[in-house]
A and B are shown apart, each in its own frame.
Chain A
Amino acid sequence: KNQVEQSPQSLIILEGKNCTLQCNYTVSPFSNLRWYKQDTGRGPVSLTIMTFSENTKSNGRYTATLDADTKQSSLHITASQLSDSASYICVVRPTGGNNRLAFGKGNQVVVIP
């Protein structure tokens, strides 16, 4: 079973609308959780990072939340733009010397005009 599960798998939203992506993980204990954005044909790029003790982190129109008790994270996109069309990947880094990141399969977002 994958250690990081994301939902919805894909969604289509109208330009200007908001959306929220979900990430549930089982990695424990963990060092940090990142949301990456992957544009078509490109490598993933980090959007936000949160450690165990952080609850929320913003990067422009992107706001990530973290509930370490329920092992859930969300990424909220405000006032979506066409350039937000991408795959958003939740990545959890375990603690300790292990550098093996746990990846979700991503949320595919399509923003339409």
Chain B
Amino acid sequence: QVQLVQSGAEVKEPGASVKVSCKASGYTFTDYYIHWVRQAPGQGLEWMGRINPNTGGTKYEQKLQGRVTMTRDTPISTAYMELSSLRSDDTAVYYCARGQYIHNYVGDWGQGTLVTVSS
């Protein structure tokens, strides 16, 4: 069955960077987008961007441009999301999710990774 397993919780100081991983299994990694979505405590979902694991091509939410980088390592079926210059309002649960290239929805989600930004 499809599984997306994310790395563990992180605590970072303001100004630092964090890199979250998302290991895929149960399907051909290069056949689906990986999207990243975050959710601040008690808040709604926010789409951050997506990566095409086949080409490495990315599309980011404009407000995160310059601070977010999405990459992948296809031999180990793992996608990464790195966020730099962290601020307190980046504290959130970060999810990876799988979506088909020809559709605009995601059907499978990782378990989420809590990133806490605090001094």
Q: Do A and B come from one complex?
A: no
Interface, chain A (partner B; CB < 8 A)? none
